[in-house]
Structure 1
Amino acid sequence: MIKEYDYLFKLVIIGNSGVGKSSLLLRFADDQFSESYLTTIGVDFRFRTLPIDGKNVKLQIWDTAGQERFRTITSAYYKGADGIVMVYDVTQGQSFDDIDKFWLHEVESYGEKNVQLLVIGNKNDLDEQKQVESSKAQEYCKSHNMLFMECSAKTADHVNNAFLELSRKLMAKKDASQPPKSSNPTPTGSQSSQSKAGGSQSQNTSQTKLSANSSNQKKQKDGGCC
């Protein structure tokens, strides 16, 4: 059976309501974009398999609701996640502040110990309305050892690059955590020949001793020694 993928990673997308989490997932998973806004009820998910550096990487991506009334439900989906994507709207300063005030604490409370974090500043095509400077967000993410990208769900390339960068990071972490493969070296031709030669020499020595003993016993029986 041909293996469908080489790596499987679970990702969870979190952030305030209305920052564009569902739009990012729809763009990445289905390459679609819609101006109409639909609120996520509870959770939604998509699969996508990507060829990365000669390997097939399958991503299981969960889109969670940002409304407070759903947060007790969505927190259960943090368990087992390899990566968590925190999204904010670059035109809403509060959505960025809430990453530090709320969402990062959620990850620390419910996420896995070594989960990889990616922060995405969405809607960066709205330059005139921008409230969160790129340099500020980048410095914050760097200080917390998190990946950072800005993009717009309207543009496929930037969205794809964000998930590709996260996937490569997860692949590297997965490979680093694998124990080294042990191998039993087979004897070389010369070692094998030496082993056979040693066995043959030992066998010849035993036969010589046996022959000498038989000769001595025969002389003693005949009453002679020389």
Structure 2
Amino acid sequence: MEGCFRIAVLGTKKVGKTCLIAQLLKKSFPDTYSPTIEALFQYNIQTSENKFAKLEILDTAGSFEFPDLLRKAVRSCHALVLMFDLSDSMRTFREVETLRQLILDERGGESVPLIVIGNKSDLIIKEDNVENKVLDAIVSIDWDCTYLTTSAKCDTNISDVYKAVCKGLGIDVRQTNVNDEDAVTRKPRKLSLSNLKRRVSSIAF
């Protein structure tokens, strides 16, 4: 094993974080919405004929209700994926801007790969509309980050997310996508929100 790399997927509620991960790992799309507190997904990727690297994808809560968990994710991950909803871009992109500022504050001058994803492209008329071009320019030019538009529901450009993450981490992969048999899901323990809050408050960072 060449190494282990952890990636956090961040964004506000209902932008499709869990759905994108499910489409990436299992080529499936959840039929119902279930709020996420935190879940970790792992899989191995082949980097050369006899070598592998482990990728861990951290699916996070879609709000700032658990700020300590959010800061821990920002500090500990090797790459960060920031997601917003193209069909509600004005509101959900503001959350991405807030998350980016948090990353800059927490990581200081440290260079960390950031991939910004506008999801739910199937719900907008044209991806080349003026609003999307402006967001693309902000991310690509002003922030110097990778910008992608996806549809987790239709499996549009999902493999590009995988490629962008690997490129940002400097991983030269032989695989161009993720195979089901490579994926392992670590299911989080079920905790009530009150118990989780008490547990988080006791964590020392």
TM-score class, shorter-chain normalisation, is: 0.7 to 0.9
Are 1:90 and 1:132, in contact at CA under 8 Å, matched by a contact in 2?
no
Distance 2:154 2:130 in 1: 20
1:122 and 2:119 correspond? yes
Distance 2:135 2:44 in 1: 29
Residue matched to 2:62: 66
CA RMSD, 1 decimal: 2.4
Are 2:75 and 2:106, in contact at CA under 8 Å, matched by a contact in 1?
yes
How big is the shift at 1:169? 2.4
**Per-residue Cα deviation, 1:115-166 (whole angstroms, up to 9, x for no partner):** 1100000000112498983311210112111111110112335112112122
Going from structure 1 to structure 2, the CA distance change for 1:106 and 1:32 (only over 3 Å counts) comes to same
Going from structure 1 to structure 2, the CA distance change for 1:129 and 1:68 (only over 3 Å counts) comes to farther
Report matched runs for 1:148-167 at 5 Å: 148-156=147-155, 158-167=157-166
Report matched runs for 1:161-180 at 5 Å: 161-171=160-170
Distance 2:150 2:156 in 1: 9
Going from structure 1 to structure 2, the CA distance change for 1:52 and 1:161 (only over 3 Å counts) comes to farther
Distance 2:44 2:163 in 1: 11
**Per-residue Cα deviation, 1:63-122 (whole angstroms, up to 9, x for no partner):** 11022322332221222311000000001121012222x111111122471111000000
Report matched runs for 1:202-217 at 5 Å: none
Going from structure 1 to structure 2, the CA distance change for 1:172 and 1:73 (only over 3 Å counts) comes to closer
Work out the number of aligned pairs and report it.
Answer: 167
1:23 and 2:19 correspond? yes
Secondary structure in structure 2 of the residue aligned to 1:156: coil
Greater relative contact order (CA < 8 Å, ≥ 6 in sequence): 2
Residue matched to 1:48: 43
AA aligned to 1:120 is: I
Secondary structure in structure 2 of the residue aligned to 1:68: coil
Which residues of structure 1 form unaligned runs of 5+?
A: 174-226
1:12 equivalent among 8, 11, 30: 8
Are 1:44 and 1:62, in contact at CA under 8 Å, matched by a contact in 2?
yes
- Aligned identity (percent) is 22
Residue matched to 1:134: 132
Give the TM-score taking structure 2 as reference length. 0.72
AA aligned to 1:95 is: T
Going from structure 1 to structure 2, the CA distance change for 1:132 and 1:64 (only over 3 Å counts) comes to farther
1:94 and 2:97 correspond? no
Distance 1:32 1:68 in 2: 27
Distance 1:159 1:172 in 2: 18
Which residues of structure 2 form unaligned runs of 5+?
A: 173-205
More helix by share: 1
1:36 equivalent among 8, 15, 32: 32
